Amino acid sequence: MANHSQLNFQDASSPIMEELMGFHDHALMVALAICSLVLYLLTHTLTEKLSSNTVDAQVIELVWTILPAMVLITLALPSLRILYMMDEINEPDLTLKAIGHQWYWTYEYTDLKELTYDSYMIPTADLPLGHFRLLEVDHRVIVPMNSTIRVIVTADDVIHSWAVPSLGVKTDAIPGRLNQTSFLASRPGVYYGQCSEICGANHSFMPIVVESTPLANFESWSTMMSS
């Protein structure tokens, strides 16, 4: 959950989000090095006497051609690695189908018998004390912790986007198409997200709440919901 005046990402709660935050810090360090070099060269140029020496400088031309290519490689290789990690889904422990509507979500646990429900935002007037305004829902997504969850995302009307920042998940929900992603919640907790694609007048009022629980609690909840 984001805090007031927070400048960085939300705390990572999945291995993928930890990798994304690490790559973000890596890219910032590369950008800081480039800015420092450019600032030094500008300062040096402005403070030193101008020279009209135009001798051949093949070495410096070689350096400023190869150096940017090396910088791009240092950014591209970790980025491609994370992209392949995000796209890889090996033997998920649970499959969840999320269907976007204007303006609520429908969830189907395809591995469990007859476990389907709609998830609406709780209006401010009905919000229990201590809950988050515009973020709390009447039915949360309950998943077991330390389990690979495959999420199949689609939409019933217009384009939506199923996004939970602290889990490193953001997938477009497109009518007539099935997109999939996966996540693994590394600790118990409640994680908040929202539809991240402008989908109409009430786009701001279809939040996503994922609750990660121990496996025993998840089994008890799924049994109660299926009965």
What is the pLDDT averaged over residues 103-117? 91
What whole-number distance in Å separates Cα of residue 227 and Cα of residue 222? Answer: 9
Alpha carbon 216 to its chain's center: 27
CA angle 124, 154, 197 (to 5 degrees): 55
Going from the N-terminus, what domains does the chain have, and what CATH number goes with each? 15-87 (1.10.287.90), 94-226 (2.60.40.420)
Query: Which residue shows structure tokens 């709609």?
Result: 118
CA distances to 100, 141, 157, 205 from 105, in Å: 5, 10, 12, 11
- DSSP label at residue 114: T
- The number of helices, as runs of H, and strands, as runs of E, in the chain is 3, 10
Q: What is the pLDDT of residues 176-198, one digit of tens each?
A: 999 999 999 999 999 999 999 99
Using the predicted structure, report yes or no on whether residue 3 has a pLDDT greater than 80: no
What's the whole-model pTM score? Answer: 0.84
Residue 138: Cβ within 10 Å count: 14
What whole-number distance in Å separates Cα of residue 139 and Cα of residue 118? Answer: 7
Q: What is the pLDDT of residues 11-65, one digit of tens each?
A: 889 999 999 999 999 999 999 999 999 999 889 888 877 665 555 677 778 888 8
What is the pLDDT averaged over residues 122-143? 91
Model pLDDT, residue 48: 78
Task: Give start and end residues of each alpha helix (H) in 97-156.
Answer: none
Structure-model confidence comparison of residues 106 and 5, the more confident one:
106
What whole-number distance in Å separates Cα of residue 154 and Cα of residue 190? Answer: 23
Model pLDDT, residue 24: 94
Model pLDDT, residue 64: 82
What whole-number distance in Å separates Cα of residue 33 and Cα of residue 27? Answer: 10
Q: Give the CB-side neighbour count of residue 53, counting CA atoms within 13 A.
A: 6
In the chain, the percentage of residues whose pLDDT exceeds 70 is 96
CA distances to 15, 161, 169 from 172, in Å: 21, 4, 10
* φ and ψ at residue 142, rounded to 5 degrees: -100, 125
What is the pLDDT averaged over residues 91-96? 92
Q: What is the pLDDT of residues 70-93, one digit of tens each?
A: 999 999 999 999 999 888 888 899
Q: What share of the chain is helix, strand, coil (3-state, %, to 5)?
A: 35, 30, 35
Give the gyration radius of the chain's Cα atoms: 24
What whole-number distance in Å separates Cα of residue 67 and Cα of residue 141? Answer: 48
Instruction: Answer for the pair 96, 107: CB distance below 8 angstroms, yes or no.
Output: yes
